[in-house]
Amino acid sequence: MTVRLDVVSIFPDYLAPLDLSLIGTARRKGLIDLQVHDLRDFTHDRHRTVDDTPYGGGAGMVMRPEPWGEALDHVLAQGPADAPPHLIVPGPGGVPFTQAMARDLAQQPWLAFACGRYEGIDERVYDEAREHMPVSVVSLGDYVLNGGEVAVLAMVEAIARLIPGVIGNALSLVEESHEDGLLEYPVYTKPPVWRAREVPEVLLSGHHAAIARWRRDERLRRTAGRRPDMLATLDEQDLDARDRQV
């Protein structure tokens, strides 16, 4: 099955990295059909205007509703009216983007992304869009970017790698940070000694149970040090007797 992704932006070139690496390969294999649309193609004035001053006053500019309305109509017309895309609008005022959300979105056949700029998009665009498709405003984190494009790059990467077939070795998705509430364990490769720093002995022991225990302990230690908030939400049932000692 091909997953369809549409992105609307005034800077289509910002999305060029989606031609590279895993996502580029997935597109060429036909696993992902990704179309980027220039919002300015849906303007009708000589200056291809997409913004104007805010009603009620205030700093900055607001994206006008007309080009957005036409752009979203154009995206909707690409597929069946009874199975529209889920529209994601990145913004610092959205619900937090998480691995669980990425997993959920990776199951959907069609996603659309609307990249806002300036002070945001006229609210009527959201109201109108909600009459035709599910709409979610999603934030990457508690900081402000200049526009949605970088957030879309991050979200599409997180989602696309969970689409079946995109990553060759599906096992590499299992033990990742944020898949089971713990951060990843530290990893090492050759040489066994580098600048007098040794690889932890247990990893060279060939003792699989001891290695698994060491890795789990490191995950717990790391999570406690870097993300105590995550440790606090871990289910007691998911901890074994040895875990409690770490």
Residues near ligand ADE, by CB under 6 A: 90-92, 139-141, 143-145, 148, 151
Looking at the Cβ atoms of 151 and 158, the one nearer to ligand ADE is 151
Minimum distance of ligand ADE from residue 205's CB (angstroms) = 44
* Residue whose CB is less far from ligand ADE, 2 or 139: 139
Instruction: Please give the order of strands across the beta sheet that includes 135-139.
Output: 32-38, 3-9, 110-114, 86-96, 135-139
CB of 143 to ligand ADE, least distance (A): 5
Q: Report the first-to-last Cα separation within the chain, whole angstroms.
A: 44
Task: Indicate the residue among 62 and 182 with the shorter CB distance to ligand ADE.
Answer: 62
Three-state DSSP class for 148?
Answer: coil
**Nearest distance, CB of residue 97 and ligand ADE, angstroms:** 7
Annotated binding residue at 143?
yes
Tell me which residue has its CB nearest to ligand ADE: 90
Query: Smallest distance from the beta carbon of 140 to ligand ADE, in angstroms?
Result: 4
User: Tokens 């017309």 belong to which residue?
Assistant: 77
Nearer to ligand ADE, 55 or 143 (CB): 143
Give the sign of the dihedral formed by CA 167, CA 169, CA 171, CA 176. negative
* Helix-strand-coil split of the chain, %, nearest 5: 40, 20, 45
User: Which residues sit in the known binding site?
Assistant: 116, 140-145
- Residues annotated within the binding site for S-adenosyl-L-methionine are 116, 140-145
